[in-house]
Structure 1
Amino acid sequence: MNKLKRNERIAAMVKILSDYPNKLFTLNYFTERFDAAKSTISEDIVVVKQSMNKLGLGQVKTVAGATGGVKYVPQTSQYQNKKVLDEVCEKLIEKNRILPGGFLYMMDVLFYPAIIQKIGEIFASQFTDKKLDYVVTVETRGIPLAIMTAKALNLPLVILRINSEVTEGSVVSTSYTSATTGTIRRLSLARRAIKPGSKVVIIDDFMRGGGTAKGMIDMMQEFESDVEGIGVLVATKIPEQKMVDDYIPLLIFDEENECDGKINLYPNSQLVQNEKNSENLKI
């Protein structure tokens, strides 16, 4: 391999780090990949670190020691959150999205990769300070959100099933009550899916009363695992008292203030630049 110039090494390094967020790369990896001295690679890392920080593109962290190295940690600013969440709001406030039961049709947005990748990074930014082992969701609409969050956190994704599959072997099942309909529902998960004593974060697409999230928490207790956080794309404003505490909604759906078919949906003010800049978007 021909020797690379500094700008070529830095471009390649940014690409590698950003493609594998939260993955630790040793200095030896880059010295061998670029056929360069450790001192040269260290200088390159400083440039990458300063540039990413200056432009608000996330953090490049170095870990000292024989087992250390460098990793890229996605980190979104409140300004970036507002830009992404406003874009999502604009798509979701289109007419005819309200479904029977007061739900919001979101499938087209949930399965749009460019949008979901950004949302996954916003979720990941809320949990980077926690030591986690898994990202957990329930099939099926929450899967795109959860897998992008798992990618940003460099964690495996665990999917709770509504109906168990014979291909998963022995499973653990639990029942929960839907806070919306009051019906009893069932969740199942393969016994080998999560190691006992793990720490997890739950990601889902929609929360009204929190029954599904409570069911997932109960399932984690069956595996003697702790839920360190809950993130949902959209949470309804009413009821204010959910069946779970300490959840992070990205968007708030205020059904009470709907009028003339207009959808009242807005970003969580705690995640965006300021409350004034998070004005409700209506059509």
Structure 2
Amino acid sequence: MKWKRSERLVDMTHYLLNHPQKLISLTLFADMYQSAKSSISEDLTIVKETFEEKGIGLLVTVPGAAGGVKYMPRMNDEAVREVIQDFIEELSHSDRLLPGGYLYMTDLLGNPEMMNRVGKVFASAFAKQPIDVIMTVATKGIPIAHAIARHLNVPVVVVRRDSKVTEGSTVSINYVSGSSRRIQTMVLSKRSMKSGQRVLITDDFMKVGGTMNGMKNLLEEFNCQLAGVAVLVETEHPGEQLIENYLSLVKLKEVNEKNRTIALTEGNYFSKGGKE
């Protein structure tokens, strides 16, 4: 079957978007489309220019015999701010207010379109860093972790509060919850990670960072490295944060339960270097 250029471009774009961060050789594309490498190179130039012009991402060329091309998810500042503002708008409704100053976010975490956009925002910030695993704690952080993992093309590991028979042998640690100051437990299967892996940890909500700090300590038990911290919503806290270097999309500044008002602002994504 002889592919037309228009057909190659559509299929090639689809392939690249579904294989982020994967080095793809020109030989693979040449064999797939039964075309000369020179034609494939011209096609990739068109895709690269379109990706960059539309803010879809970057197409990086790796030279050499073992080289090829790699799609890296990227969003420009305008697109990132649009995602953040859309999330703030959805989260600002007074009926989301829960006792204790928490916000109801389950429906947003279950919205595939919203989570896909959030995942790409965080993936854009960490796209140039070597990341092997996304880690989160059950249960509300799971949709965010999978959304980021999809755009970085890496696996997800889920930390639990107690061990499950289906997890096999586990590693368990105790940590101090930042908000309640209670001793809690984290458990992770020994098969979840390999020594030396670089791990991005994420969660939906952070007060002072007790849970994040617990996951950070758990990495040490696996001899793994912390690659970064991604938080969907953080709260403004007058005391000391247990986690210093993290990226957040939204900051919960104030909750007035009497008047049922919610004050939200942009998080530290830009001020902490979320975009280069």
Instruction: Please indicate, yes or no, whether the TM-score normalized by the shorter chain is above 0.5.
Output: yes
Q: Which residue is 2:114 aligned to?
A: 115
d(CA) in 1 for partners of 2:140 and 2:175?
18
After TM superposition, give the deviation of residue 177 of structure 1 in Å. 1.2
Q: How many Å separate the matches in 2 of 1:100 and 1:226?
A: 36
Distance 2:268 2:133 in 1: 27
Q: Deviations over 1:126-164 (max 9, x none)?
A: 112211211111111000100111111111111111111
What's 1:150 paired with?
Answer: 149
Matching of residue 137 in structure 1 with residue 148 in structure 2: no
Shift of 1:240: 5.4
Per-residue CA deviations over 1:95-151 (Å, capped at 9, x if unaligned) read: 221222211110000110001011001111111221121111111100010011111
Partner of 1:28: 27
**Contact 2:248–2:268, Cα closer than 8 Å, also in 1:** no
Residue 203 (structure 2) pairs with residue 204 (structure 1): yes
Residue 56 of structure 2 corresponds to 57
Secondary structure of 1:104's match? coil
Paired with 2:239 and 2:16, the residues of 1 have a C-alpha distance of 40
Matched, 1:89 2:88: yes
CA shift, 1:270, in A, is: 4.6
Tell me, yes or no, if the aligned pair for 2:58 and 2:74 is still in contact at 8 Å: yes
Offset at residue 166 of structure 1 (A): 0.9
Tell me the matched-pair count.
271
Indicate conservation of the 8 Å contact 2:52/2:58, yes or no: yes
1:80 aligns with 2:79: yes
User: Which letter does structure 2 place at the counterpart of 1:98?
Assistant: L
Unaligned runs of 5+ residues in structure 1 are 273-283
Pairwise CA RMSD: 1.6
Report the TM-score when normalising by structure 1: 0.91
Question: Who is 1:225 aligned against?
Answer: 224
Q: Which runs of 4+ in 1 moved over 2 A?
A: 256-260, 268-272
Give the residue type in structure 2 aligned to 1:188. Answer: V
SS of equivalent residue, structure 1 residue 96: helix
Q: Percent identity?
A: 40
CA contact (8 A) 2:255 2:262 kept: no
C-alpha change, 1:207 and 1:19, in structure 2 (3 Å) is same
Cα deviation for residue 259 of structure 1 reads: 7.5
Secondary structure, aligned partner of 1:220: helix
**Distance in structure 2 (CA, Å) of the matches to 1:269 and 1:165:** 36
Secondary structure (helix, strand or coil) at the match of 1:129 reads coil
The verdict on how the C-alpha distance between 1:144 and 1:102 changes in structure 2, with shifts beyond 3 A counting, is same
CA distance in 2, matches of 1:156, 1:256: 36
